[in-house]
Chains A and B, each alone.
Chain A
Amino acid sequence: MPLSALSKTILSSSALLLLLAAVIVLSIGFGPAGFDVDAVLGIIGQGSQTSQTHTIVMEYRLPRALLAAVAGAGLACAGVVFQAVLRNPLADPYLIGISGGGSLGAVVCITIFGQSRILGLSGMAFIGSLIAVGLVYGLASLKKGAGYINTIILAGVIVGALMNALMLLVISLSGSDEMQRILFWLMGDFSLADYRKTTVAGVVTCLGWMAAFSQANRLNLLMVGDESAAHLGLEVSKIRTFFIVVASLVTGAIVSVSGTVGFVGLIVPHMLRLALGPDNRVLLPASLLGGAAFLAASDCLARLVAYPTELPVGVITALIGAPFFLYLLLRR
């Protein structure tokens, strides 16, 4: 008799929780000169370290690690949901135009508005994501009937392309020399992490995760096909809308605070599914923790590999992502 879903959930989540804790501790303690135990102990008021180290840890490494963890958690969870809803294990949270909209919002903010007092970069990016998702929904609803999933994906591709085109338009018209800043945003950047951003993103991610997990059985049903799911008691379009909205909000929130970090929402759920099976009751908690550990670790690498210069975290995830895809290809 194979392991029950409950046992799998508890075991995998516990293991990943430990992993996440280890990654956070390592992220906090690892500096260019190696691991500094005092730095970690300093957080709980023990150990002896200089006030400089304390500042580095509390004002730089810790908020960064936490934000990376939250972002990884959110993107991985959204990835699980999108892969189930779109019935495609290679789906990705950015597939339906969220990243395109977020990028457009951010670019508009950077080039045209400078730093708006009211909304700020994150606010405009989030609004951009919402507009993109709204457009996707609008487009998809124009063509009712069967093949809804393909319609959504197609609409997402269209809207994403449109947003990218507009973004390039804005960049070129503004004659902006903010290219570096835009590029860093597009590649994902946690260096500007602060506790406020982390808290907001964390709350949204937690609420989104709880909403999704509370319907995890229904998410499983979505994977067997629209008609079968309906015959098994699911209000298919309602629940699908629910999941897409939840996952989009979480993704939009993450994108708005950290830029578009690629591959996390694709690799983490996929890897965990290969290891733990497709049951979302197991995958949702596992992805939350696994995604957090993955991105926190990637960000730590991004911070240290080329010290004192920094790599954008998107470069690290892409360098991990490409071989991963190669592996998938060879495996088939």
Chain B
Amino acid sequence: MNAARSLLTCESASFRYRDAPILKGVSIAVTEGAFLGVIGPNGVGKSTLIRVLTGTLLPERGRVLLYDKPLTAFTRRAIARKLAVVSQTETSDFGFTVWEEVMLGRSPHHGGIHYENREDRAIVEMALEKTQVAHLAARRLDTLSGGEMQRVRIARGIAQQPAIVFLDEPTTHLDLYSQLTLMELLKEINKQGIAVFLVSHDINFVAQCCADVHLMHDGAILAHGAPHEVITPDLVATCFRIRANVSVDPETSVPRINPLGIL
């Protein structure tokens, strides 16, 4: 296997909020076509990590490189053409439709005033189809369920035609069915060549879809590798302060944890 090209590299990034250090020397690399998951308990800094990686926060030490160039050398628009972020966004009661919301994903490719052309329409339609929300195109956002809204956000991310899609705790508020559908969708997107960067506290979910798992503890990456290498009882205990059994599926090598109690 050829060493895949690194799209986004983070080198020893540190970040503090007010006086509390959050990231302490995090190093992580996202290669082309990667499917990467970062797990860790709440508050360890996973969301902050995404913000630093996408340039919305500047690390006080260390740096982030996009295509081997410092992130700070890019305009926000240029970054948005390469990196898309799907998170639990704030909602406002303005009444956008699904179609309009996904079309917003085309913004990084256009200037201050632009009416969508055929290409934009084709891309948005494709994104809607991939995320299976095409039938909701004319619906207002505030009429959607949690799972549907999630997929709309992903569709918007896809419409950006990014190299990497970041997802911040995507399984919150999703039932099992929606979670599995999401997994299928992410695998599908990844197959098309978009790298997926998933951040979650749901260990099993990450174990099932990510090829590369990073365990975050105390502001830094404690361990990384294949899921079964990282998700071990000892590491889980250190990171999450729980006692758990880990069973590994013999065929797929996907580990699964069964929490037993707290430490």
Verify if A232 is at the interface (C-beta below 8 Å from B): yes
Verify if A326 is at the interface (C-beta below 8 Å from B): no
User: Contact between B89 and A224 (Cβ–Cβ < 8 Å)?
Assistant: yes
Verify if A303 is at the interface (C-beta below 8 Å from B): no
User: What distance in Å separates the Cβ of A63 from its nearest Cβ neighbour in chain B?
Assistant: 32
Which residues of chain B are within 8 angstroms of A89 by Cβ–Cβ distance?
93-94
User: Contact between A233 and B77 (Cβ–Cβ < 8 Å)?
Assistant: yes
With beta carbons under 8 angstroms apart, the residue of A5, A213, A224, A233 that contacts B116 is A5
User: Contact between B138 and A215 (Cβ–Cβ < 8 Å)?
Assistant: no
User: Contact between A233 and B108 (Cβ–Cβ < 8 Å)?
Assistant: yes
Verify if B42 is at the interface (C-beta below 8 Å from A): no
Which residues of chain B are within 8 angstroms of A2 by Cβ–Cβ distance?
97, 99, 137-138
User: What distance in Å separates the Cβ of B105 from its nearest Cβ neighbour in chain A?
Assistant: 7
Query: How extensive is the interface on chain A, given as a class?
Result: 20 to 34
Which B44-91 residues have C-beta < 8 A from chain A?
A: 54, 56, 75-81, 83-85, 87, 89-91
User: Contact between B96 and A232 (Cβ–Cβ < 8 Å)?
Assistant: no
Residue in chain B with minimal CB distance to A84: B94
User: Contact between A225 and B116 (Cβ–Cβ < 8 Å)?
Assistant: no
Query: How extensive is the interface on chain B, given as a class?
Result: 35 or more
Verify if A281 is at the interface (C-beta below 8 Å from B): yes
User: Contact between B92 and A231 (Cβ–Cβ < 8 Å)?
Assistant: no
A-B contact count (CB 8 A): 99
Which residues of chain B are within 8 angstroms of A216 by Cβ–Cβ distance?
112-113
Verify if B177 is at the interface (C-beta below 8 Å from A): no
If the complex has contacts A216-B112, A230-B76, A233-B107, are A87 and B92 also in contact, measured as CB distance less than 8 A?
A: yes
Which residues of chain B are within 8 angstroms of A214 by Cβ–Cβ distance?
112-113
Verify if A178 is at the interface (C-beta below 8 Å from B): no
User: Contact between A232 and B113 (Cβ–Cβ < 8 Å)?
Assistant: no
Which residues of chain A are within 8 angstroms of B105 by Cβ–Cβ distance?
232
Which residues of chain B are within 8 angstroms of A278 by Cβ–Cβ distance?
94-96, 100
- 8 A-B pairs within 8 Å (CB atoms) are namely A2-B137, A215-B113, A217-B111, A227-B56, A227-B90, A232-B104, A232-B108, A233-B80
Please report B residues at the A interface, Cβ cutoff 8 Å: 54, 56, 75-81, 83-85, 87, 89-97, 99-101, 104-105, 107-108, 110-116, 137-138, 160
Please report A residues at the B interface, Cβ cutoff 8 Å: 1-2, 4-6, 9, 87, 89, 213-218, 220-221, 223-228, 230-235, 273, 277-279, 281
